[in-house]
């Protein structure tokens, strides 16, 4: 198979035999027939491979998982019912009551709540660190019971690029894996395993599906982390599992140990499996991911350049922009592009921002991102509507923040829609002198940015430092 990811998008995961369907078949079934009860027993003991109940595994799901695994360059993969389920499984597979996680503070709000609220109820603690933290600050976050480090390759909606090597080196010094959510850049633009990341997750709902049709998630294991070398930290992988007659995953399944355990234990008990038809649809959409990502990135760059030159916009955030704070990291880890998502500021308060969005015609207001169709969201007026302005600042979601996901339409049409909407909600279309404040960090926002004072009529691109959706879990 080709080493080029865009070819793998089309050809990976499924190789039909003579006379077989050129596209993967849909096995829309819950159960599978066997002639021998002894064989069924061996399946339940994990001593023989095969399918017996779709809650655990299904041939269609596994075919698409194999494609994603090949795209990421991993050793084993599984699909889940959502990206949220993928992140939960990825962490809970190696964390127990009394354990600890180190996580970047710049992560999707649903994941933040999962780790900070729900997993704390399970007795799993977390220390959040700024993605911009020093190596010393990162080192200080670890505890003797730390079992994993978690972050996002490009954070949602702050668009902060994670320094993989810094976080991977710290994780490995402490004998734990680095888990990264790679949803925004996808493996087309970013392959974290090349930079020391051990496990990758995806919300396949986003770019992988790309058409707003299927909720789903994926977990891919690089197969590089040596569980037996740190056996005392991960007894669930390195000691016998009594629920499967003494199977020791790390010994019996090699590089597939982590995914096998997640399937055999977590999928068995939680049942967060995708419907085969959803996996099949997403798999079909994966074939165009390479060409779609190229267009998403090109459109976003063109749009952000227009936004940066408009005096009615107070700041822009897009790591593909040369002036962006995270451009150097993006060039290092994502040289072919980042994603199609932009964050920018519309000054004037809630009413001004809402009026701007309400005047959009082609760009949809939607609780979604990373779609073929351009869409936008005003977090302070929707997902974070219940918060005060002070709480919004603490959550890293400014009162002026607009998230725009550039689709694959013609970029000029996206800009034209933004332009007419801005014109209709603006008091004046004339450039004006203005001062923009980008930092400092407050509350839960550890990322401090510079203060930019610009009295020129042609404003420079600006970088803000909004962090995660710390109080919401949708979109």
Those residues whose C-beta lies under 8 Å from the C-beta of residue 19, and which sit 6 or more positions away, are: none
More confident residue, 371 or 457: 371
Partnered with residue 76 across adjacent β-strands are 221
pLDDT of residue 383: 62
pLDDT of residue 387: 53
Those residues whose C-beta lies under 8 Å from the C-beta of residue 101, and which sit 6 or more positions away, are: 91, 95, 115, 119, 124, 125, 126, 127, 146, 147, 148, 149, 150
The stretch 349-353 carries a mean pLDDT of 86
Q: Which range (11-25, 229-243, 385-399) has the least confidence?
A: 385-399
The stretch 356-380 carries a mean pLDDT of 93
pLDDT tens by residue, 101-114: 999 988 888 898 89
3-state secondary structure of 229: helix
C-beta separation of 6 from 186 below 8 A:
no
| % residues pLDDT > 90 (the chain) | 73
pLDDT tens by residue, 35-69: 888 888 888 878 888 888 899 999 999 999 999 99
Say whether pLDDT at 194 is over 60: yes
pLDDT of residue 42: 83
- Local confidence band at 349 (pLDDT 50, 70, 90 cut-offs): confident
- Local confidence band at 469 (pLDDT 50, 70, 90 cut-offs): very low
pLDDT tens by residue, 167-181: 999 999 999 999 999
- Local confidence band at 443 (pLDDT 50, 70, 90 cut-offs): very low
Average pLDDT, the chain: 87
Identify the H or E element spanning 44. helix 37-44
| % residues pLDDT > 70 (the chain) | 86
C-beta separation of 189 from 337 below 8 A:
yes
Helix, strand, coil fractions of the chain, as percent rounded to 5: 40, 15, 50
- Local confidence band at 431 (pLDDT 50, 70, 90 cut-offs): very low
DSSP per-residue string spanning 410-429: -HHHHHHHHHHHHHHH-S--
C-beta separation of 414 from 342 below 8 A:
no
pLDDT of residue 396: 59
pLDDT of residue 3: 85
Q: Which domains does the chain have, with CATH numbers?
A: 5-285 (3.40.640.10), 291-454 (3.90.1150.10)
pLDDT tens by residue, 278-337: 999 999 999 999 999 999 999 999 999 999 999 999 999 999 999 999 999 999 999 999
pLDDT of residue 60: 96
Identify the H or E element spanning 173. helix 164-173
pLDDT of residue 286: 98
Question: Cα angle vertex 343, ends 337, 348, to 5°?
Answer: 160
pLDDT of residue 30: 93
Whole-model pTM: value is 0.88
pLDDT of residue 107: 87
Cis upstream peptide for 369 (omega within 30°): no
Q: How many whole angstroms separate alpha carbon 56 and alpha carbon 401? A: 41
pLDDT of residue 225: 98
The stretch 210-229 carries a mean pLDDT of 97
């Amino acid at each position: 198979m080709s080493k080029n990811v865009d070819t793998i998008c089309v050809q990976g995961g499924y190789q039909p035999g003579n006379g077989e369907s050129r596209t993967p078949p849909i096995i829309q079934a819950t159960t599978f027939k066997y002639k021998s009860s002894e064989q069924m027993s061996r399946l339940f003991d994990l001593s023989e491979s095969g399918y017996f109940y779709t809650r655990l595994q299904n041939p269609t799901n596994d075919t698409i998982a194999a494609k994603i695994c090949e795209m990421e360059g991993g050793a084993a993969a599984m699909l889940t019912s959502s990206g949220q389920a993928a992140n939960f499984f990825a962490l809970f597979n190696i964390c127990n009551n009394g354990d600890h996680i180190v996580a970047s503070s710049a992560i999707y709000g649903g994941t933040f709540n999962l780790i900070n609220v729900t997993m704390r109820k399970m007795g799993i603690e977390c220390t959040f660190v700024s993605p911009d933290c020093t190596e010393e600050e990162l080192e200080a976050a670890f505890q003797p019971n730390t079992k994993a480090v978690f972050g996002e390759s490009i954070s949602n909606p702050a668009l902060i690029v994670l320094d993989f090597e810094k976080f991977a080196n710290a994780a490995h010094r402490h004998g734990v894996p680095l888990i990264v959510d790679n949803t925004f850049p996808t493996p087309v633009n970013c392959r974290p395993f090349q930079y020391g990341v051990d496990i990758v997750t995806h919300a396949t709902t986003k770019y992988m599906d790309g058409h707003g049709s299927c909720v789903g998630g994926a977990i891919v294991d690089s197969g590089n982390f040596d569980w037996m070398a740190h056996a005392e930290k991960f007894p669930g992988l390195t000691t016998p599992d009594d629920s499967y007659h003494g199977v020791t995953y790390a010994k019996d399944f090699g590089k597939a140990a982590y995914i096998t355990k997640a399937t055999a234990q977590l999928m068995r008990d939680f049942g967060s499996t995708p419907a085969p038809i959803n996996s099949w649809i997403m798999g079909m959409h994966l074939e165009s991911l390479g060409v779609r990502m190229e267009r998403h990135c090109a459109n976003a760059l063109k749009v952000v350049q227009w936004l940066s030159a408009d005096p009615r916009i107070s700041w822009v955030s897009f790591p593909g922009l040369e002036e962006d704070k995270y451009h150097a990291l993006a060039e290092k880890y994502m040289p072919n592009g980042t994603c199609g998502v932009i964050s920018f500021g519309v000054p004037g308060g809630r009413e001004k921002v809402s009026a701007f969005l309400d005047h959009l015609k082609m760009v949809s207001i939607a609780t979604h991102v990373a779609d073929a169709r351009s869409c936008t969201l005003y977090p302070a007026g929707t997902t974070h509507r219940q918060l005060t302005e002070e709480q919004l600042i603490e959550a890293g979601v400014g009162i002026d923040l607009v998230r725009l996901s550039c689709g694959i339409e013609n970029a000029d049409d996206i800009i034209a829609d933004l332009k007419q909407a801005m014109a209709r909600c603006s008091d004046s279309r004339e450039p004006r002198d203005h001062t923009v404040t980008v930092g400092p960090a407050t509350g839960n926002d550890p990322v401090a940015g510079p203060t930019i004072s610009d009295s020129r009529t042609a404003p420079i691109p600006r970088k803000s430092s909004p962090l995660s959706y710390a109080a919401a879990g949708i979109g």
